[in-house]
Amino acid sequence: MTRTRFTVLDDTQRHPDLAERIDQNLRQVAPTVTEITGLPLPAEVRVRLLTPRAWRQEVRQHLHRVLVRDIADLDLLPAEMGGARLGLKIASFKPVLLWPLVPATAQEAADARWETTTVPQALCHSGVLTDEHFLVQVVAHELVHHMQAEAASGAVWASLFLPKRGILASPKSVPTVLEGHATWAEQQTLTRLFGTAADFRDGPKSGRYRLHNRNIIRRLGPSREAYVQGSRLIAQAVAELGTGLVNQIWKDLSLLPTEKEITDPAAWIYRIERGHARAC
């Protein structure tokens, strides 16, 4: 069995204590998260602490790499490529507005390896550093995203042209599953480790956070609905089917819930179960 290497890099060179805490938390939660999700750990889990400016640049570069991959993989029309490039230009201002609200972001890095980037100031603004359980919560959530990426192994979840990738479900489906699954797992992990599930989202926030936390800005990122509805969806599916069947979704994107199924877990569960029965 390959042993996972945990790497926490303080690119700011100002927060070595925080980097050490995150490293310890990763090692603490990894066995529990593995048991809860039924997913394998990747060979490496990398976390980088960045300045706000560096984090904003990483987010923009990630979106650019997504577009480059789409252009290479898909038969796009010139108008589609032009529209996507314009969309990315317009979206380039989003990280400036969102960074105080985002404790961490998991995405593919320039070297094609998966990593989580986090801004220590954002952890402070969002209240994560006010309670150690909150930091454990964020670390567990991000670890799940690494495990999702490992399980997907080649399935393209990040694209500006999901229908051309054969993903015909609602645009809400991808964030609902990714964030809902990670939220469900994080809460299960906290309960298993500490007997109760804390939630930094309900914790104290800084004035800077409150300044940015407005509906018009919130709409630029994943909605809170994706986390709440998604965690309920996953919790019910796991309760009825177990993690083995639910985890088929990482390789079979046709199993993504429709918009109706997001609010009707029983219908989604029925479809997964029926598909499994046919496969057998």
pLDDT, tens digit (0-9, with 9 covering 90-100), for 104-140: 999 999 998 999 999 999 999 999 999 999 999 999 9
Residue span of the structural domain in which 215 resides = 5-279
Q: Are 256 and 176 spatial neighbours (Cβ–Cβ below 8 Å)?
A: no
Instruction: Note if the pTM is more than 0.85.
Output: yes
Query: Which domain CATH number covers 17?
Result: 1.10.390
How many structural domains are present in the chain? 1
Place of tokens 């400036």: 96
DSSP summary character for residue 130: G
Angstrom distance (rounded) from CA 141 to CA 189 = 9
- Report pLDDT digits (tens) over 16-69: 999 999 999 999 999 999 999 999 999 999 999 999 999 999 999 999 999 999
Identify the CA nearest to 114 among candidates 196, 46, 34: 46
